[in-house]
Every structure is written in C-alpha cells, then in structure tokens.
Amino acid sequence: MKKIFTLFAAAAALTFGSMNSASAQVEQGTVIIDPYYGYPNFSKKFADAIVGDSATNVDITGIGPCGLRGEYMISDNFGVGVDFIYNSLGVKYNYEDWDTSGVSHTYEDKINQQRFRIQLRMNYHFAQTEQVDAYVGFGAGTNIRRFTYTSDNPNFTEPDAASGALIPVSLRIALGVRYYFTDFLGINAEIGLGGPMISGGISLKF
C-alpha cells in the first residue's frame, strides 16, 4: 500500500510541475459529481472464516465498495462535500447436522451483510491544469452494518447481534486525480484508507 501511495504522489508531483497559465479545471462555485466503483471487497475476503472448514457448496457474492461523491468548491483550491460508500456480502453454504433423533441431515444457511458509510468530505486541490485536477481528501462519518441470517435447520437460532458495527464511525484519507475530456466530463481515480483502497469512475462537472 505504501508503494501505491508513493507512485500516486509521484504522479501528482509531475502534474504539479507541469502546471501552466491555463485556466484551472475547477474553481469557486464548481460542483463535481463522482460515481465510482472500488476494489477490493474485504468482506468477501473474510467469508471463508465465517463459514468454516466443514461447509460445502459455498457460494460467495458481493457488491462494491462503490459509491457516489459530491463536492462543492468553496474556493479555487478547497472543496467540501459528501461521500456515500456501499458494499455488500452474501454467503450461502451447506453443512451436516444431526436432529434430535440422531439422524444426520444436510442444511443450508444464508448470511447477508450490507455496509453503509456516509462521510463529510474536505478536499484540497493542490495541482490543476487544463485537463488534470489532483487533490488530497479527508472524510468522517457514519459506519452502519446490517446482517440477516436464514437457515432451513429447525434448530437454528439467529445471533443476537444482527446489526451494528464494532466502530460506529468511519474515517477516510485519500489521494485522487480527475482527468477531463471536456469541460463537463472526465474520469476519476482515488486511492485511500477508510473506504475503497482503489476506486475509479466518471466525473461530472457543473
């Protein structure tokens, strides 16, 4: 991860060094909308630990991390906004268990998790050219997890902690860049901690 940040910072430095007198891509009053998709989905990485070694026919699905960022430039170099981050995990698997008469049966359990983070964002835009806009961002906000458990095992008891998160708040630090093809449309890429490690999408500027 340290190497990724170093490479990203080096690219941003080259961008900063190539700045000229061209008009900046963003300025006070600009609104920027960034839909994006990220990688990896760490929830899927931990799915094997959830089901255990005795599970069979394991099916793991997931969405995200993905989201939508909105930013309003309160000055030519400083913007504030909101970042909505979502990811999900679905695990379905079979296992053997015995009923009260001692007969073995195959049962199916399903676990679903949804995670929502809504963060207030502050971005400092430290390098701008006609097409490139590089920034460093900080965010803080909510951290909500929702779980559902279902099973066809008649002895199944749903766990008490079916919702909530270990830490109810989330923080993010990120380094990002946008490249504009036109005055209104571009692409974005961001690396960071406290959300998607790597993300990319489109940028709409108004």
pLDDT over 50 (residue 17): no
Go through the chain and tell me how many residues it has.
206
Torsion of CA 147, 151, 155, 160, to 10 degrees: 0
Query: Residue 195 belongs to a domain with what CATH number?
Result: 2.40.160.20
Q: How confident is the model at residue 4 (pLDDT cuts 50, 70, 90)?
A: very low
pLDDT tens by residue, 83-109: 999 999 898 989 888 877 778 889 998
CA dist 179 → 20, 79, 140, 176, 188 (Å): 16, 17, 25, 10, 6
Q: Is the pLDDT of residue 161 over 60?
A: no
> Residue 162 is part of which domain span?
2-205
Which of these, 195, 191, 75, lies nearest to 128 by C-alpha position?
Answer: 75
Q: Does the N-terminal peptide bond of residue 40 adopt cis geometry, omega within 30 degrees of 0?
A: yes
The separation between CA 200 and the C-alpha centre of its own chain, rounded to angstroms, equals 10
- Mean pLDDT, the chain, rounded, equals 84
Domains held by the chain: number: 1
| The predicted structure's pLDDT at residue 121 | 97
Give Cβ neighbours of residue 51 (< 8 Å, ≥ 6 apart). 58, 91, 93
Q: What digits encode the pLDDT tens for the residues 180-190?
A: 999 999 999 99
pLDDT at position 165: 65
What mean pLDDT do residues 47-59 have? 76
